[in-house]
Chain A
Amino acid sequence: MLAATRFKPSSTESPAHSTAPPGPTEMLRRSAAVFQKDVTCEFRTRYAVNAIALFAITTLFAVSFAVGGAGISQTVQSSLLWIIIYFSGMSGLSRAFVREEEARTASALRLAAAPGAVFGGKLLFNLVLLAGLEAVTVPLFVGMMGLQVSGWPLFVSVLALGSAGLAVAATIVAAIVSRANAKGALFAVLSFPILLPLLIGAIHGTQAALESAKFSAGMQDVKLLVSYTGVMFIVSILVFKFVWED
């Protein structure tokens, strides 16, 4: 009897034992916790930001010196823009997961957080990282290359959707890479074939935005980007736990 009364507090003190699995808002709140933790850690070490920013600026200057801005076609311009975004992303978007494994904090995170919250948090982090990167590089690119954008709404939509898709695919591939032994080169190798349809759509859509003021000129690309991002997001959520758990 004595034992029974002693056990009682343990179940009342921690309501987590008996409650149902967390709902969508609760999952979002927990994802936000992971995101906020990653931002704080990143702010204090600046691993990913430094890698991405240096890579982006270096390639941007290299490209600008080489082609000088004038006289290149809009196809080449839009390709260059996405090549810079893609490779800068490849230099930093794997950090969020790789850092957990290298610092051996992944086990603690696995013990405390639901896989969905981890994926959500890392995805948010990569989205913000990519948005920050583009906030700097895209205006610089437009200025240095003398880009003439005809349709700004299309340009911005393609940029936003392309980045969202890039962040989703890069996040799940980063999760895979962080669990493998050789992490460095593997990230770009695994990402490229998966990201290719997205890059094709993004480059094509950007080119359409440079050439035409009409949004409908890039409608097919926008559709491609939306479906890519949606499908990859759903598939990633479904498979993430197989990657994350041992």
Chain B
Amino acid sequence: MLLKLLLGIWMVAVIVAAFLFAPPAQGFAEPEAARIIFFHVPLAMVAALAFVIAMVYAAKYLSRRDLMDDIKSSISAELGLVFAILATATGSLFARVQWGSWWNWDPRETSIVILMLVYAAYFALRAATESAEKRAALSAVYAILALPPMILLIFVVPRVMASLHPSDTLTSGGLSTQYRLVLYPAALGFLGLYVWLFKIKTALAEVRLKLGRY
């Protein structure tokens, strides 16, 4: 309850600050429109973090064989997918304004698409497996298998493909202190949002599991 209340206030403050406190970002084609960064970047960060958490619970399931771990893993993946879709949508909007096209296949865009593909494949696998234990084991293994390719995609492939893609605007543009003062709290807010949703869904799933409806 307290978390929900705090979170509500915090997020409102972040939204207000994003539009009123932060100055227009220099170094962008449309400095005013760059405010979307306050939502886009945290969403993408939480999407990636949610995947790592899903993977940690997957590994935990394999070592302890507790179905609750599997459920938490899938909840984190579900939330991660939502965050990834929102990050992609906001990113695409931003790309249209800044670079003139909705989609450019720059390394960041490529990796978030792959992240969504991994999530989609993960849920396709879960849907295709009937027995709860087998579903848990198979999807856990898949989540673990998907991690090394993700790391290669995010850190190695952009270097190999550097000649084909434009350099990253965000890191080269630089951010002012005022910008950081809004961006980090925003990231914290979205993280809180993830934690809050995760807790609600976990509690619900726990009840379902006890009732034998899972």
Direct A–B contact in complex, judged by CB atoms less than 8 Å apart: yes
Which residues of A approach B to under 8 Å, CB–CB? 169, 172-173, 176, 179-182, 186, 189-190, 192-198, 200-201, 204, 220-221, 224, 227-228, 231-232, 235-236, 239, 242-243, 246
Beyond the given A176-B141, A197-B153, could you list 9 further A-B residue pairs with CB under 8 A, ordered by the A residue number?
A: A173-B145, A176-B125, A180-B134, A190-B121, A190-B142, A193-B117, A193-B149, A235-B145, A246-B134
Question: Once bound together, how far apart are the Cα atoms of A175 and B155, in whole Å?
Answer: 28
CB distance from A85 to the nearest CB of B (A): 18
Q: List 9 A-B contacts (CB under 8 A).
A: A181-B129, A186-B124, A190-B125, A193-B146, A196-B153, A235-B144, A239-B62, A239-B145, A243-B141
Query: What residues on B are CB-neighbors of A186 within 8 Å?
Result: 124-125, 128
- Asked whether B137 lies within 8 Å of A243 as measured between CB atoms, the reply is yes
Q: Known contacts A176-B141, A182-B128, A189-B124; is A224 also within 8 Å of B156 by CB?
A: yes
- B85: interface (CB < 8 Å): no
* Interface size of B as a range: 20 to 34
The number of A-B residue pairs with CB atoms under 8 Å apart is 95
Does chain A have a CB within 8 A of B168?
no
Q: How far, in whole Å, are A26 and B88 apart by their CA atoms in the complex?
A: 50
Chain B residues contacting A193 (CB-CB under 8 Å) are 114, 117-118, 121, 146, 149
Secondary structure at the A interface, as helix, strand, loop or mixed, is helix
Q: Which of A173, A193, A224, A246 has the most CB of B within 10 A?
A: A193
CB of A194 within 8 A of CB of B146, answer: yes
Minimum C-beta distance from A98 to chain B (A): 13
Which residues of B in the span 99-147 have a Cβ within 8 Å of any Cβ on A? 114, 117-118, 120-121, 124-125, 128-130, 133-134, 137-138, 140-142, 144-146
